[in-house]
A and B are shown apart, each in its own frame.
Chain A
């Protein structure tokens, strides 16, 4: 078991998949020189044809990735969430809809790696956490890893999946260290994390906290703190939002009777909203207190650190959410 930094886990996943399958290639802006770190050494190892620096043309090269996937390639696109708006027509009109619209003729094994660089003074144009918008659109699988091992295993699964997938990489975790098993220690010889299987990060009996992306780790820290106060918090990381493992969440709420969702996205129509609605519809009789959504305030991301820190779910807000469920 090796301690691996989150961004290195991304790099390992890409490199292993490119070595495994020559139809895998990667494209994006400034990836040959790896300005964000995730594509380090790929140019040297796999050559110019499979490591493509693109012009600033998201609508163009997103579409090119989609088209290449239709004819047998398995493209990985590196981008930022904030640049996805520029290529939305390709993501929605083409990637999400083609298979259904063409009666199953189209198969699109394309992966968009969309990094969310929020929380670092990047201001409104570079801080998007946009996965809920894509949850609303059928046809795209959505992955939000919260630690290096899941990052690696889920990205490898995304490359192998035959449907369009967006992997939302939480930029607040890029420097996070965590255990990533060595391939040699794994029975299958590699780490592939299947979609649709939530992970119970902390077991508990009093309150369930579902965290999304970076909020999972904050929720785990809250659980550790509250344990010292005699409050037993179960923390669940869904890992993929499409597909969503509702059984693990519903089973947990059946046990605890209380639900908090910690979601870095804006709170209106967030992942938290959808999870809350699932539990309200299907787990209502388990609930002993109102569901608490701890999501980002419905404002744009301000530049000033004094203001930005007020926006996202943090330790204090998640703690307060948990305690509110225990008031009744």
Chain B
């Protein structure tokens, strides 16, 4: 049985094939460290019992969301899934409001109503993370439809996993976006496993990106550990979308280092994947790859990279304090935000 894709080792350090602004590269590094350190902190405080419920660490997959979102503007839209902390941070969301939401506090992004799996920031185009997998993809298509109807220039991007690539919602969405020629990017984070079930056992084609041909759109397979490759591929798809050339399916091959969810400790990883496999992916850590490129290309020093890491550790610490100090919602807030045009409660 094939457990996971072959790992390419061609680009531990890479030459830049496109002209990317140094500031953008450093911003991507910062956001990747922010996600990494945010998730490490979440694991620490969750195991200490500071908040309850599920949380799905994005560690190992940082380059996918950060590279993709770096190709978007604040006026573009994204929607995501249960593994939900990386997407908003990648799009420039606030870690303090994200952490406070995980803690169920009023200063959280959703005033404590959503929690870990439902972060959203409508001020910068984050339409929200869906705990039902594949379910946010048609919603993202709707944002692209609005751009199409109104003749506006924004694009929409939906994150989904290899598991959700089997959902009918995804296939219906790709067909809709294609027949209507919508400014849409379907971004598959193929982290190899749906909880414990390997992608190779559940997906009928070699690559999720192969599915694009059924919907008459480009399907691009990308090294998801390489943030620059993710950026390039997404920027190209955004260019196509903005110029009226329709949707693109991008598959970033990546890997989830941690288990599916915090609090799901009864599943031993050895039962479905090997330590060797995990180690082989850790050797291609997205942060190591980007820092290697930056340093070898003379665009940043080791010290500068370490300083960015340290700054994000500090920011995550402050965010955690912010969350801890934020009050829980009051009982009367139970009924807030049900309706835009309120009606009596039965």
Contacts and interface: CB of A to CB of B under 8 A. Distances in A.
Contacts of B172: 55, 57, 59-61
A161 B120 CA distance: 23
Given A64-B145, A69-B142, A94-B130, A89 B110 contact: no
Interface stretch (A97-105, A111-119, A179-187, A285-293): A97-105
B10 interface: no
B109 A66 contact: no
B308 interface: no
B72 to A, nearest CB: 14
B122 A106 contact: yes
A67 interface: yes
Nearest to B101: A103
B342 to A, nearest CB: 9
A233 B3 CA distance: 72
A242 interface: yes
B185 interface: no
B161 to A, nearest CB: 17
Given A63-B173, A102-B120, A68 B114 contact: no
A163 B340 contact: yes
B183 interface: no
Contacts of A207: none
A64 B135 CA distance: 11
A243 interface: yes
Main secondary structure of the interface of B (DSSP, over half): mixed
Contacts of A62: 138
A100 B120 CA distance: 12
By CB atoms of chain B within 10 A, which of A23, A64, A100, A162 has the most? A64
Interface residues of A, number: 52
A138 interface: yes
Interface residues of B, number: 51
B343 A195 contact: yes
By CB atoms of chain A within 10 A, which of B128, B144, B179, B341 has the most? B341
A44 interface: no
Nearest to B140: A67
Contact of B336 (A66, A71, A94, A104): A104
B137 A63 contact: yes
Contacts of B324: none
Given A55-B172, A67-B127, A103 B149 contact: no
Interface in B140-197: 140-146, 148-150, 156, 168-169, 172-173, 175-176, 179-180
Interface of A: 23, 25, 49-50, 52, 54-55, 57, 59-73, 75, 89-90, 93-94, 98-109, 138-139, 141, 161-163, 195-196, 242-244, 278
7 contacts: A55-B172, A63-B137, A66-B138, A68-B142, A71-B142, A73-B145, A89-B135
Closest 8 CB pairs of A and B: A67-B142, A63-B138, A60-B172, A103-B110, A104-B337, A162-B340, A243-B343, A103-B111
